[in-house]
Amino acid sequence: MADPNLDSSDVSLTPSPPGWRRPALLISSLSLLALGVVLNGPRLAAEYQGFAAKRAEATAEVEPPPELEPADHLVMVGHVSVHKGEEGKMGAPKSKSSSGLYAMKGPQNVVPQMARNFDPDAAADSAGILGVMESGAGHFLVSPHGGAFAVGDDAEDVWGGLTGTEVGEAYGVGGLGLVGTGGGGGGGGPGYHERDAASERYAALPTNVFVLTANEAKSTFSIDVDTASYANTRRYLLDSAQLPPPAAVRTEELINYFDYDYPMPSGDGAPFSVTTEVGPSPWSPTHRLIHVGIQGHVPAVEQVPARNLVFLIDVSGSMQDDDKLPLIKHGLASLTETLGPDDRVSIVVYAGAAGAVLPPTSGADNTTILAALDRLTSGGGTNGAEGIELAYQLAEQTFIAGGINRVILASDGDFNVGLSDHDELVRLVERKRESGVFLSVLGVGTGNFNDHMMEQIADKGNGNYAYIDGMAEARKVLVDESAALLHTIAKDVKIQVEFDPEQIAEHRLVGYENRVLAHRDFDDDSKDAGEIGAGHTVTAIYEVVPTPDHDSGPLMTLNLRYKQPDEDHSRKLTTQVSDAGLGMAQTSTDYRFSAAVAAFAEALRGTPSEASYVDILRLAQGSLGADAHCYRHQFLDMVWQAGVLAGEQLDKPDSSCEPQPEPTRYGPTTIVHELEPTDTSEAAWMSFTLEVLRLLPPLLALPLFVMALRRPRRRRE
């Protein structure tokens, strides 16, 4: 109860703070905020730039080739000529299954057949897409809708069946049908919807630019072992006599297509060796190139783990061309011949729907695997997402602990049914890689080829990406380099270099535009990066501008992080790189050849350069080395063709080549580094402490700001 003797006049306000207190608090809070901006600004700017770069990433459309006049007996589908004929019709309503689905259109030029009184085994042999897995019984993998019969034998069994029994039904449903019957007979024209065959899709990425070392001394990126861009560029130049679109050329993939003479790792430390060499730039004589080479360990045959492989094959209508499904069948058949009794192979196909056509089979059962591949034919839409989910499901069910568990996707990337949204499909693959099953991608075909999609899902699937443009490339990727394709020896491999501002005025990374990482991601084990396969060689090149008063001291510190395939914590390796002042003639053959390939790729991308195609060709001709498979000689033809198409006058090079013995491992001008493992525990605590210190100024500024602005309190005296 209030004191009745207390007069209201005794109630007074707390004296206002001295006049200096409020300005002092405001100045202190603003100073702390400013300090917070200074400490966190570069990180926020880098984050914004990365976000802006992703937003700006566009898909470049390729100009269609000139249209050809078809012959009288042909019609044009896109820019492909096909035989005339009526398009197949939908089945009659009475042919639908209990799910309400109808038989789909058949492909062109087939002989209509009645589906009654069929032989299931014969039907499966001729159909081959969702062929019988067990005669007279279904298998849950054949249909996502449950245990439908693998070969339909009644009017209700259309979805799971390859052969229907009612007029209007076809072998298969959802675009997998091969032969229609009656009113739904096989079409005499294209059995799949017409696509825009002139639309090849590539991600348009800006070329890396020079960075002032005084402003930013670090450079961080993920390694990349893909080679698809090189084979695709070769297809443009040598098969189509066209310059590739700049967005189709990824410089690092052209460089990494070739093997280099790097030393093998010693075997008592990291699963790879690191080699560096510094020399002049062929396109900017006053600049220097820092060449970083990584050589993956090659295990002995008896050390190769058992392989659990799922071939995920696109059999949609867009895959019917000779440079698509037939090429994939040939390549995978060659890979199958290298497998043994401890290996397992499964085959999943997808078109309008997905199904397993070969259950897990011993690698020694070559006849069964080859027969399943031989039966594959194309037709229908492309539900790639459903196929990917089914392939991962099968790989997880047959998972080999400590083995190689991998899905090999073969497609032109033309996803048009199901999850056709790019980001949604990428997220699906990101989720699935957590199972320990990795994804490798084989791209094929022209016209509707979706390079952007294929490259992204291989990256997010912890795998690699190759483009198959012919039988020779199929053998290179799937036989000669199968260990590199399938056997991962190090994952999430990141490189971070720190340049000395006293030595290097400016620097830029040549290529790897879509592999650049934020600097803080280097120490973040949750951030995904590239993988190295057994025997892989990886090359990265920095172009640098030396300072006027540079000396022979170290140019940069090279830091490398990696994880063992079955580990979640990374290991860090460190070394320093110096410049011995070599001239071009003193550098190694591999240095000169990789520089020629880099100059060629940058020229195709339109990067300003002082080197002409004549200069590039001359440099490559003088650095062929021991070309065991003649790939470097073929590169000469590509440079010549590009120069001619660009309007330069070049003499045609002599690219004749005989296979040569394997080269010695490395030359005298390269520096093989003994990488020093780094204790990361202290660095982790230091990083945590720095993060706390960065956050303290803005956190302390808030209460000071509130204290300065709050109203005086009333109190009784």
What would the pLDDT profile of 402-421 be if each residue is shown by its tens digit? 999 999 999 987 765 445 56
What residues contact 372, with CB distance under 8 A and at least 6 apart?
128, 131, 347, 357, 358
Give how far Cα 139 sits from Cα of 125, 146, 149, 150, Å: 17, 8, 7, 7
- Please tell me the predicted confidence (pLDDT) of residue 38: 74
Is residue 419 assigned to a domain? yes
How many residues comprise the chain?
717
Greater confidence, 73 or 459? 459
Q: Which amino acid is at 78?
A: G
The verdict on 451 and 519 lying in the same domain is no
The residue-averaged pLDDT of 601-622 equals 95
Is residue 162 assigned to a domain? no
Q: Is the pLDDT of residue 549 over 80?
A: yes
Question: How many Å apart are CA 418 and CA 399, to the nearest integer?
Answer: 27
Assign 328 to helix, strand or coil.
helix
The verdict on 476 and 327 lying in the same domain is yes
- Name the residue with tokens 């199968």: 482
Is residue 214 assigned to a domain? yes
Q: Is the pLDDT of residue 383 over 90?
A: no
The closest of 470, 385, 398 to 425, measured between CA atoms, is 385
Q: Is the pLDDT of residue 373 over 80?
A: yes
Q: Is the pLDDT of residue 28 over 70?
A: yes
The residue-averaged pLDDT of 343-364 equals 89
Greater confidence, 522 or 610? 522
Greater confidence, 455 or 686? 455
Question: How many Å apart are CA 218 and CA 497, to the nearest integer?
Answer: 6
The closest of 600, 573, 580, 588 to 675, measured between CA atoms, is 573
Angle at 447 between CA 321 and CA 52, to 5 degrees: 140
- Please tell me the predicted confidence (pLDDT) of residue 43: 62
The verdict on 504 and 646 lying in the same domain is yes
Residue 473's domain spans which residues? 306-482
Greater confidence, 523 or 42? 523
Q: Is the pLDDT of residue 328 over 90?
A: yes
The verdict on 248 and 341 lying in the same domain is no
Show which of 439, 467, 482 is a domain's final residue: 482
Answer yes or no: pTM beyond 0.85.
no
- Please tell me the predicted confidence (pLDDT) of residue 534: 94
Q: Is the pLDDT of residue 432 over 50?
A: yes
Range picked from 114-118, 140-144, 312-316, 492-496 for highest mean pLDDT: 492-496
* Neighbour-count burial for 5-23, b at 16+ CB within 10 Å, e otherwise: eeeeeeeeeeeeeeeeeee
The verdict on 414 and 289 lying in the same domain is no
Q: Check which CATH number belongs to the domain holding 424 and give it.
A: 3.40.50.410
Q: Which amino acid is at 273?
A: S
- Please tell me the predicted confidence (pLDDT) of residue 546: 97
**DSSP collapsed to 3 states, 229-279:** HHHHHHHHHHHCCCCCCHHHCCHHHHHCCCCCCCCCCCCCCCCEEEEEEEE
Greater confidence, 13 or 420? 420
The verdict on 557 and 635 lying in the same domain is yes
Show which of 651, 673, 695 is a domain's final residue: 673
* Neighbour-count burial for 187-217, b at 16+ CB within 10 Å, e otherwise: bbbbbbeebebbbbbbbebeebeebebeeeb
The verdict on 503 and 567 lying in the same domain is yes
Count of alpha carbons within 13 Å of 419, Cβ hemisphere only? 16
The verdict on 463 and 507 lying in the same domain is no
Would you state the structure tokens that stand for residue 59, as one six-digit string? 């898909």
Q: Is the pLDDT of residue 545 over 50?
A: yes
- Please tell me the predicted confidence (pLDDT) of residue 188: 37
Q: Which amino acid is at 148?
A: A
- Please tell me the predicted confidence (pLDDT) of residue 151: 35
Burial of 356 (0-12, 13-18, 19+ CB in 10 A): buried
Q: Is the pLDDT of residue 116 over 60?
A: no
Greater confidence, 601 or 39? 601
Q: Is the pLDDT of residue 193 over 70?
A: no
Helices (H), ranges, 433-515: 451-460, 471-475, 482-486
The verdict on 590 and 610 lying in the same domain is yes
The verdict on 499 and 438 lying in the same domain is no
Question: How many Å apart are CA 524 and CA 52, to the nearest integer?
Answer: 21
The verdict on 231 and 325 lying in the same domain is no
Question: How many Å apart are CA 273 and CA 95, to the nearest integer?
Answer: 63
- Cα of 181 vs its chain's centroid, Å: 42
Q: Answer for the pair 151, 138: CB distance below 8 angstroms, yes or no.
A: no
Range from 265-279, 411-425, 590-604 carrying the lowest mean pLDDT: 411-425
Residue 716's H or E segment, with its range, is: strand 714-716
The closest of 261, 133, 249, 262 to 601, measured between CA atoms, is 249
Q: Answer for the pair 344, 311: CB distance below 8 angstroms, yes or no.
A: no
Show which of 658, 673, 688 is a domain's final residue: 673
Percent of the chain scoring above 70 in pLDDT: 67
Q: Check which CATH number belongs to the domain holding 624 and give it.
A: 2.60.40.1230
Count up the domains in the chain and report the number: 2
What residues contact 472, with CB distance under 8 A and at least 6 apart?
none
Is residue 717 assigned to a domain? no
Greater confidence, 611 or 428? 611
pLDDT tens per residue across span 132-180: 333 333 333 433 333 333 333 333 333 333 333 333 333 333 333 333 3
- Please tell me the predicted confidence (pLDDT) of residue 434: 86
Look over the chain and give the mean of its residue pLDDT values, rounded to a whole number. 76
Q: Is the pLDDT of residue 343 over 90?
A: yes
Q: Is the pLDDT of residue 568 over 80?
A: yes
Q: Residue 150 carries which DSSP code?
A: S
Is residue 370 assigned to a domain? yes
- Please tell me the predicted confidence (pLDDT) of residue 472: 93
pLDDT tens per residue across span 476-500: 999 999 999 999 999 999 999 999 9
Q: Answer for the pair 31, 700: CB distance below 8 angstroms, yes or no.
A: no
Is residue 111 assigned to a domain? no
The verdict on 320 and 440 lying in the same domain is yes
Q: Which amino acid is at 220?
A: T
Would you state the structure tokens that stand for residue 475, as one six-digit string? 């053998």
Q: Tell me the Ramachandran region of residue 684: left when phi exceeds 0, alpha when psi lies from -120 to 50, beta otherwise.
A: alpha
